[in-house]
Protein backbone atom coordinates (compact mmCIF):
# COMPACT_ATOMS: atom_id res chain seq x y z
CA UNK A 1 0.00 0.00 0.00
CA UNK A 2 1.14 3.56 -0.66
CA UNK A 3 1.36 6.04 2.23
CA UNK A 4 -0.58 9.29 1.64
CA UNK A 5 1.70 12.22 0.81
CA UNK A 6 0.53 14.28 3.80
CA UNK A 7 1.45 11.72 6.44
CA UNK A 8 5.15 12.20 7.10
CA UNK A 9 5.17 16.05 6.78
CA UNK A 10 2.14 16.39 9.04
CA UNK A 11 3.38 14.21 11.90
CA UNK A 12 6.89 15.62 11.69
CA UNK A 13 5.58 19.19 11.97
CA UNK A 14 2.99 18.28 14.59
CA UNK A 15 5.83 16.87 16.71
CA UNK A 16 7.74 20.16 16.52
CA UNK A 17 4.59 22.19 17.16
CA UNK A 18 3.91 20.19 20.34
CA UNK A 19 7.43 20.29 21.80
CA UNK A 20 5.98 21.78 24.99
CA UNK A 21 3.86 18.64 25.51
CA UNK A 22 6.46 15.94 24.83
CA UNK A 23 7.62 15.33 28.41
CA UNK A 24 6.61 11.95 29.82
CA UNK A 25 3.91 12.59 32.39
CA UNK A 26 1.16 11.18 34.57
CA UNK A 27 -1.11 11.36 31.51
CA UNK A 28 1.09 8.77 29.76
CA UNK A 29 1.07 6.55 32.85
CA UNK A 30 -2.73 6.67 32.95
CA UNK A 31 -2.97 5.94 29.22
CA UNK A 32 -0.79 2.86 29.70
CA UNK A 33 -2.86 1.71 32.68
CA UNK A 34 -6.01 2.08 30.60
CA UNK A 35 -4.48 -0.18 27.93
CA UNK A 36 -3.62 -2.78 30.56
CA UNK A 37 -7.16 -2.66 31.98
CA UNK A 38 -8.91 -2.76 28.60
CA UNK A 39 -6.85 -5.72 27.40
CA UNK A 40 -8.52 -7.64 30.19
CA UNK A 41 -6.03 -10.48 30.39
CA UNK A 42 -2.40 -11.10 31.19
CA UNK A 43 -0.05 -10.16 28.35
CA UNK A 44 3.69 -9.71 27.97
CA UNK A 45 4.60 -8.63 24.43
CA UNK A 46 3.19 -5.51 22.75
CA UNK A 47 3.39 -4.02 19.27
CA UNK A 48 2.44 -0.37 18.97
CA UNK A 49 2.13 1.01 15.43
CA UNK A 50 2.05 4.75 14.76
CA UNK A 51 3.75 5.15 18.12
CA UNK A 52 4.55 8.87 17.89
CA UNK A 53 6.92 10.16 20.57
CA UNK A 54 7.04 6.79 22.35
CA UNK A 55 5.53 7.90 25.64
CA UNK A 56 2.77 5.28 25.65
CA UNK A 57 5.31 2.54 24.96
CA UNK A 58 7.42 3.82 27.83
CA UNK A 59 4.37 3.72 30.09
CA UNK A 60 3.62 0.13 29.11
CA UNK A 61 7.24 -0.82 29.72
CA UNK A 62 6.82 0.44 33.28
CA UNK A 63 4.13 -2.26 33.60
CA UNK A 64 6.82 -4.84 32.72
CA UNK A 65 5.69 -5.25 29.12
CA UNK A 66 8.14 -5.97 26.31
CA UNK A 67 7.21 -3.35 23.70
CA UNK A 68 8.12 -2.99 20.03
CA UNK A 69 7.10 0.21 18.25
CA UNK A 70 6.82 1.14 14.57
CA UNK A 71 6.85 4.84 13.66
CA UNK A 72 7.24 6.39 10.20
CA UNK A 73 8.88 9.71 11.12
CA UNK A 74 12.62 9.43 11.93
CA UNK A 75 12.60 12.47 14.26
CA UNK A 76 9.94 10.86 16.44
CA UNK A 77 11.81 7.56 16.52
CA UNK A 78 15.00 9.29 17.63
CA UNK A 79 13.11 11.17 20.34
CA UNK A 80 11.56 7.92 21.55
CA UNK A 81 14.95 6.21 21.70
CA UNK A 82 16.48 9.08 23.66
CA UNK A 83 13.66 9.05 26.21
CA UNK A 84 12.84 5.37 26.29
CA UNK A 85 12.93 2.35 28.60
CA UNK A 86 15.11 -0.77 28.28
CA UNK A 87 11.99 -2.84 27.53
CA UNK A 88 11.17 -0.81 24.39
CA UNK A 89 12.50 -1.49 20.88
CA UNK A 90 11.80 1.42 18.51
CA UNK A 91 11.72 0.78 14.76
CA UNK A 92 11.42 3.35 11.98
CA UNK A 93 9.31 2.31 9.02
CA UNK A 94 5.87 2.02 7.47
CA UNK A 95 3.42 -0.41 9.05
CA UNK A 96 2.19 -1.18 5.53
CA UNK A 97 5.35 -3.04 4.54
CA UNK A 98 7.63 -3.48 7.57
CA UNK A 99 8.61 -7.08 8.33
CA UNK A 100 8.53 -8.00 12.02
CA UNK A 101 10.28 -11.00 13.60
CA UNK A 102 7.49 -12.20 15.89
CA UNK A 103 3.84 -12.13 16.88
CA UNK A 104 2.52 -10.23 19.89
CA UNK A 105 0.09 -10.69 22.78
CA UNK A 106 -1.26 -7.18 22.16
CA UNK A 107 -1.24 -4.92 19.09
CA UNK A 108 -2.10 -1.24 19.50
CA UNK A 109 -2.98 1.57 17.13
CA UNK A 110 -3.88 4.54 19.29
CA UNK A 111 -5.15 7.82 17.82
CA UNK A 112 -4.34 7.54 14.14
CA UNK A 113 -6.34 4.80 12.38
CA UNK A 114 -7.97 5.91 9.13
CA UNK A 115 -5.16 6.93 6.78
CA UNK A 116 -6.24 6.51 3.18
CA UNK A 117 -9.32 4.69 1.89
CA UNK A 118 -11.28 1.63 2.99
CA UNK A 119 -8.90 -0.70 1.15
CA UNK A 120 -5.98 0.72 3.15
CA UNK A 121 -7.80 0.14 6.47
CA UNK A 122 -8.69 -3.42 5.49
CA UNK A 123 -5.11 -4.17 4.49
CA UNK A 124 -3.84 -2.84 7.82
CA UNK A 125 -6.42 -4.82 9.81
CA UNK A 126 -5.23 -7.97 8.04
CA UNK A 127 -1.66 -7.14 9.03
CA UNK A 128 -2.75 -6.60 12.64
CA UNK A 129 -4.32 -10.06 12.56
CA UNK A 130 -1.05 -11.53 11.31
CA UNK A 131 0.88 -9.83 14.11
CA UNK A 132 -1.36 -11.18 16.86
CA UNK A 133 -0.71 -14.42 18.70
CA UNK A 134 -3.59 -16.89 18.43
CA UNK A 135 -5.16 -15.55 21.64
CA UNK A 136 -3.83 -12.00 21.28
CA UNK A 137 -5.79 -8.77 21.68
CA UNK A 138 -5.80 -5.68 19.47
CA UNK A 139 -6.85 -2.21 20.63
CA UNK A 140 -7.56 0.35 17.88
CA UNK A 141 -8.93 3.90 18.13
CA UNK A 142 -11.62 4.72 15.54
CA UNK A 143 -12.79 8.24 14.70
CA UNK A 144 -16.54 8.70 15.23
CA UNK A 145 -18.47 10.34 12.32
CA UNK A 146 -21.20 12.17 14.32
CA UNK A 147 -18.69 14.05 16.45
CA UNK A 148 -16.56 15.16 13.51
CA UNK A 149 -19.52 16.27 11.42
CA UNK A 150 -20.58 18.55 14.28
CA UNK A 151 -17.03 19.74 14.94
CA UNK A 152 -16.29 20.91 11.39
CA UNK A 153 -15.23 24.56 11.40
CA UNK A 154 -14.14 24.60 15.05
CA UNK A 155 -10.76 26.18 15.80
CA UNK A 156 -8.50 26.26 18.84
CA UNK A 157 -5.00 27.13 20.01
CA UNK A 158 -2.67 24.27 20.87
CA UNK A 159 -0.61 26.20 23.41
CA UNK A 160 -1.33 28.85 26.02
CA UNK A 161 0.77 31.41 24.13
CA UNK A 162 -1.37 31.15 20.99
CA UNK A 163 1.60 30.30 18.79
CA UNK A 164 -0.01 27.25 17.16
CA UNK A 165 -3.59 26.94 15.93
CA UNK A 166 -5.65 24.06 14.56
CA UNK A 167 -8.95 23.90 12.67
CA UNK A 168 -11.18 20.89 12.07
CA UNK A 169 -13.14 20.02 8.96
CA UNK A 170 -15.21 17.18 7.55
CA UNK A 171 -15.45 15.69 4.05
CA UNK A 172 -19.05 14.49 3.89
CA UNK A 173 -18.77 12.53 0.64
CA UNK A 174 -16.11 10.20 2.04
CA UNK A 175 -16.59 10.57 5.83
CA UNK A 176 -13.07 11.85 6.51
CA UNK A 177 -12.21 14.32 9.24
CA UNK A 178 -9.55 16.94 8.54
CA UNK A 179 -7.24 18.54 11.11
CA UNK A 180 -5.15 21.51 9.95
CA UNK A 181 -2.28 22.98 12.02
CA UNK A 182 -0.29 26.18 11.49
CA UNK A 183 1.86 28.70 13.31
CA UNK A 184 -0.20 31.84 13.85
CA UNK A 185 2.64 33.92 12.44
CA UNK A 186 2.66 31.88 9.21
CA UNK A 187 -0.91 30.75 8.41
CA UNK A 188 -0.01 30.18 4.76
CA UNK A 189 2.24 27.27 5.81
CA UNK A 190 -0.29 24.78 7.17
CA UNK A 191 -0.26 21.00 7.53
CA UNK A 192 -3.36 18.80 7.40
CA UNK A 193 -4.14 15.24 8.39
CA UNK A 194 -7.10 13.44 6.81
CA UNK A 195 -8.51 10.40 8.62
CA UNK A 196 -11.46 8.16 7.78
CA UNK A 197 -14.33 7.96 10.29
CA UNK A 198 -16.42 4.82 10.84
CA UNK A 199 -19.61 3.94 12.68
CA UNK A 200 -19.31 0.91 14.95
CA UNK A 201 -21.23 -1.36 12.58
CA UNK A 202 -19.00 -0.29 9.67
CA UNK A 203 -15.75 -1.08 11.46
CA UNK A 204 -17.18 -4.38 12.73
CA UNK A 205 -17.90 -5.41 9.14
CA UNK A 206 -14.41 -4.38 8.05
CA UNK A 207 -12.86 -6.35 10.91
CA UNK A 208 -14.86 -9.42 9.91
CA UNK A 209 -13.45 -9.17 6.39
CA UNK A 210 -9.97 -9.09 7.93
CA UNK A 211 -10.57 -12.16 10.08
CA UNK A 212 -11.01 -10.19 13.31
CA UNK A 213 -13.90 -10.05 15.77
CA UNK A 214 -14.77 -6.91 17.72
CA UNK A 215 -15.29 -8.18 21.27
CA UNK A 216 -15.67 -4.84 23.05
CA UNK A 217 -16.04 -1.11 22.39
CA UNK A 218 -14.85 1.67 24.72
CA UNK A 219 -16.11 5.23 24.20
CA UNK A 220 -13.60 8.07 24.37
CA UNK A 221 -13.83 11.74 25.24
CA UNK A 222 -15.30 14.82 23.59
CA UNK A 223 -14.69 18.54 23.51
CA UNK A 224 -17.32 20.87 24.97
CA UNK A 225 -16.87 23.77 22.58
CA UNK A 226 -19.15 26.10 24.53
CA UNK A 227 -17.10 25.72 27.71
CA UNK A 228 -13.81 24.96 25.89
CA UNK A 229 -13.25 21.98 28.17
CA UNK A 230 -12.57 18.34 27.43
CA UNK A 231 -14.77 15.58 28.84
CA UNK A 232 -12.59 12.43 29.00
CA UNK A 233 -15.58 10.06 28.98
CA UNK A 234 -18.40 10.91 26.58
CA UNK A 235 -21.18 8.64 25.34
CA UNK A 236 -20.57 6.39 22.35
CA UNK A 237 -22.85 8.57 20.23
CA UNK A 238 -21.02 11.79 21.18
CA UNK A 239 -17.35 10.85 21.60
CA UNK A 240 -14.65 11.98 19.16
CA UNK A 241 -13.27 8.44 18.96
CA UNK A 242 -13.96 5.03 20.41
CA UNK A 243 -11.62 2.10 20.96
CA UNK A 244 -12.36 -1.34 19.61
CA UNK A 245 -11.00 -4.49 21.20
CA UNK A 246 -10.41 -7.20 18.61
CA UNK A 247 -9.32 -10.81 18.55
CA UNK A 248 -8.82 -13.35 15.79
CA UNK A 249 -12.10 -14.76 14.55
CA UNK A 250 -12.74 -18.36 15.52
56/27 Cα distance (integer angstroms): 9
Can you list the positions of beta strands (E) in the chain?
45-49, 66-71, 88-92, 104-109, 132-143, 155-157, 164-171, 176-183, 191-196, 212-219, 222-224, 229-231, 241-248
How far apart CA 37 and CA 86 sit, in angstroms, is 23
Query: 48: which strand partners?
Result: 69, 108
Q: How far apart are CA 109 and CA 145, in angstroms?
A: 18
pLDDT tens, N- to C-terminus, the chain (250 residues): 556 799 999 999 999 999 877 888 899 999 999 999 999 999 999 999 999 999 999 999 999 999 999 999 999 999 999 998 999 999 999 999 999 999 999 999 999 999 999 999 999 999 999 999 999 999 999 999 999 999 999 999 998 889 999 999 999 999 999 999 999 999 999 999 999 999 999 999 999 999 999 999 999 999 999 999 999 999 999 999 999 999 999 8
Please give the domain boundaries of the chain with CATH numbers for all domains: 7-143+199-248 (3.40.50.150)
Whole-angstrom CA distances from 54 to 48, 59, 61 are 9, 9, 11
Q: Would you state the pLDDT for residue 1?
A: 53
Phi, psi of 53 (to 5 degrees): -80, 0
pLDDT the model gives residue 150: 97
Residue 21: what pLDDT?
75
Note the pLDDT of residue 58.
96
The confidence score (pLDDT) of residue 12 equals 96
Q: Do residues 179 and 168 lie in contact, with contact meaning Cβ atoms separated by under 8 Å?
A: yes
Residue 184: per-residue pLDDT? 96
pLDDT of residue 20: 74
Q: d(Cα 237, Cα 146) in Å, to the nearest integer?
A: 7
Q: Report DSSP letters for 203-248, one per residue.
A: HHHHHHHTTEEEEEEEE--EEETTTTEEESS--TTT-SEEEEEEEE
Amino acid sequence: MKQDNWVKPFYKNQFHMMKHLQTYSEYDEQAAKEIVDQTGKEFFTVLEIGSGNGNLARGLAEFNKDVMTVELVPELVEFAKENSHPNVTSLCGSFYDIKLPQTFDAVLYIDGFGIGEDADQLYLLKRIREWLTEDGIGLIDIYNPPYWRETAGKQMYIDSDGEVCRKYGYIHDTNHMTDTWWYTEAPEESFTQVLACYHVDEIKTMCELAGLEVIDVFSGGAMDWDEMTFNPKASLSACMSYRIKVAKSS
